[in-house]
Each structure stands twice: as C-alpha cells, then as structure tokens.
Amino acid sequence: MSIDLAFDRQHIWHPYTSMIDPLPVYPVVAAEGCELILENGQRLVDGTASWWSAVHGYRHPVLDQAVTDQLGQMAHVMFGGITHPQAVTLCQQLLAMTPPALNKVFLADSGSIAVEVAIKMALQYWQGIGHRQKTELISLRKGYHGDTFAAMAVCDPVDSMHSMFSKLLPQHHFLPAPDSPYHSEFRPESLKPLQQLLEQRHQYIAALILEPIVQGYGGMRFYHPDYLAGCRALCDEFEVLLIADEIATGFGRTGSLFACEQAKITADILCLGKALTGGYMTMAATLCTDQVALGVSQSEAGGLMHGPTFMANPLACAVANASIGLIRTGDWQAQVAAIETQLKAELAPCQASPLVKEVRVLGAIGVLEMHHPVDVAKLQQHFVGDGVWIRPFNRLIYLMPPFIISEEQISRLCWSMRRTVGV
C-alpha cells in the first residue's frame, strides 16, 4: 500500500509544522531493530529512538509478544471503579525501581499529562493541608515540560516554542538556567537566585519543577548534579515541593537508571514517560510520596481531580511491564556506557568545525550545538541521503539512539554528522 504524500502534505498536521509550507516528511512503512524502512526499501539507522522512547529498538520480540498476549484478554477497560492485573503489576514494578519514599502512582496517558497531574498534585496538596496561598510555581529557563497549558506555563516563557501563549498562561517564576556544566566544577553561587526567591516568596510557592541533569528541548544542556542536590536542600528548608520531570531522562538515558540518582536525591513528585513502554504506546506515570497523597486526599475535592479516558490502558500497561522487565534484567548500563564512549570519540572531531559551538556527550546522548539555527529540511535530506535518521532542531544536531544500537550503526550516524559540519 503506497503512502499518498500529496494528501499528507495538504491535510495532515505534523508536530510543530506549518500547513502553509510544511516540512517534508519521509514515508516509513516498517521498522525493525534500530532501522526505519522507507517505502522505497531504503533503510535508515534511527539516531533519535522515535523521540527518545524506543530504547529497545523496533519489533522487539518480547514487547511484540506482550501486546499480542494482552490483545487476547482485553485491549482497554476504564480505570474508574475497575483495576486489572497489568496496571497493578506495572505500579509494583515502578515502586520497586524508584526511591522508597515514592509510594503512590498515577498512570497518565502522555508525558504532558504526567506534568499536568504533578502540578495538580502540588497545588491540591497545599490546599489539603491548609496553605491555600501556595499557588505559585518555580521553573528554570531553558526548561521544557510539554505542550498542554499547565505544562506550557512552566516552560521557558521567552526562549521556547510557547512564547506566543505567554499572556494566556499562569505567570510563574523562572530562575536562570543552571550554569555549572556537568563535566566542570560546580559553582555554588548558581543556587543564589533560588535561595533569594524562596526567602522572599516561599509562603506563596507550591513547587519547583525541573528536568534533572539534562534540559532536553530547551537546548540539550547537561548541568552539574550538585545543582540538583542544592535545589532539593533549599526546597526542604523553605517547605516547597520538588517535582522532577524525568520523562526524557528516566530508564537509563543519562547512564543512571534515573537522573536524580546522580544527585542522590528523591523528588516529592516524579514524572516518567517516553521509554516507559519502549516506544510502543503512549503512557506516562506520576509518582508521589505518601505525604503528598495524603494532602491531596484531604483537600476539598477529596481526591486527585484527574481521570483520562485511557488511563492505565491494559495494552500500554502490558508493554510497559515488558519494557521495564527488559531494563531490569538487561544490560542497559553497559550498553549506555559503550554508547557514551563511542559518541565521545567519534563526535569529538566536530569541535574543530567553525560551524560548531560545542560538542556534548552524556550517557546515550550526543549533541552538536551550532552557532546558528539549522535548516531542518536541508539537513534532514542530507541525513536521509546518508542512510540515517537524525532530527535536528533550532541550533542542535543530536543523537539519542536505542540502547541496542551496534557500534557500526553509531559510527554511521557520527560519520554523517561529521560530514554535515565539514570535518
């Protein structure tokens, strides 16, 4: 069956794309391992793991079987007044692999919704314990937390794709982006803006939300774990909740199972997604402490006021259970370490290019930050011509491949990136 690209271009919206002059799309008809297969039979090595989610690659037999088996039972059932084995097992697995203090799980249906739920938890918590004035949030410049409205309100209000909505969104507090890079010495003074804000406004602030260690869509910035540890300490001192958005960093991407582990801290509320289902289906989770859950439940509403139609979808829960099983029993640590070593070696020459501002690598993430914004359509055509799938944005050309990727496939990706910048 051929794909009608003319119809697609005329009628179908793709992410962040104009309908007047949409970016070109490439017709994928199949995927297996670490490769996307185009309609013409060409194979592309996938360097982005379908926006960082397909950590086990495509058509993994364990994940395929989990979906097939669950289809024989039920594809979906409402979660209101009903529970089912896959949801219970998934929550058991999540609690077993996250810090002990995180004891309650809300199964959302996307990363943005997980953030919405986290924000609701924080606000309802303070209402429930009698601090109704605590309605303000703190976020970081260069931060990104999703495309729905509460999530947009805690994304960078100026240097982000959501700036046009700024007058419609709740106004929150934004701190300077962390300026102590991951691989350099920590600058304690970088915490002063948070300390000063909390000294002035802590009685009105409900929570600080941030992406631990790696700021993703805000620029693929890697910051020092001590900054995160300092945020945790200040939140404790001034009685403010800490929300960790690990939707992109969770399940091994940075080299630790969760990025928070690198700072040895536990968030009050934790958001997970993307790799949760191995890239098979949309699902996310928001975890919180017993203390937060108790406060929410004592609020005037009497419960957490959120309930998506497809919450805890059995198919998604089944494949999430299988994906987590592969992570818990697999060799992801060695895989991620090997990817990091190879990316460092093979992307390092790009630093010599006058087009490149900085080369950064952490875990299974490799980044070329350019001096100027890139021509996405032109670069995409170049990469497809080289037999690789790399999706640049703004000033960034980056890799976040599946963990199962081979040395030869990584080399092919890095070769194409070097060729792009002329080294």
174 three-state secondary structure: strand
Task: Find the catalytic residue in 109, 226, 245, 386.
Answer: 245
167 is catalytic: no
Nearest to 397 by CA among 175, 385, 378, 405: 378
Instruction: For residue 139, give the 3-state DSSP assignment.
Output: strand
DSSP code for 168: G
Is the separation of the CB atoms in 131 and 103 below 8 Å? Answer: no
Find, among 219, 331, 223, 318, the residue nearest to 276 by Cα: 318
Active-site annotation holds for 398:
no
The per-residue DSSP string of 82-106 comes to: ---HHHHHHHHHHHHHS-TTEEEEE
Torsion of CA 404, 405, 408, 411, to 10 degrees: -140
Annotated binding site for substrate: 51, 144, 274, 307, 391
Task: Please write down the long-range contacts of 15-19, taking CB distance under 8 Å and 24 or more positions apart.
Answer: 16/161
144 carries an active-site annotation: yes
Active-site residue, from 4, 16, 290, 375: 16
Note whether 118 and 209 are within 8 A (CB): yes
In the residue annotation, 245 being an active-site residue is answered as yes
List the binding residues: 51, 111-112, 144, 245, 274, 307-309, 391
| Residue of 93, 106, 80 whose CA lies nearest to 320 | 93
Active-site position among 125, 223, 274, 386? 274
Which residues participate in the annotated binding site for pyridoxal 5'-phosphate? 111-112, 245, 308-309
The β-bridge relationship of strands 136-140 and 43-46 is: unpaired
* Spatial separation of the C-alpha atoms in residues 373 and 392, rounded to whole Å: 10
- Hey, which residues are catalytic here? 16, 144, 245, 274
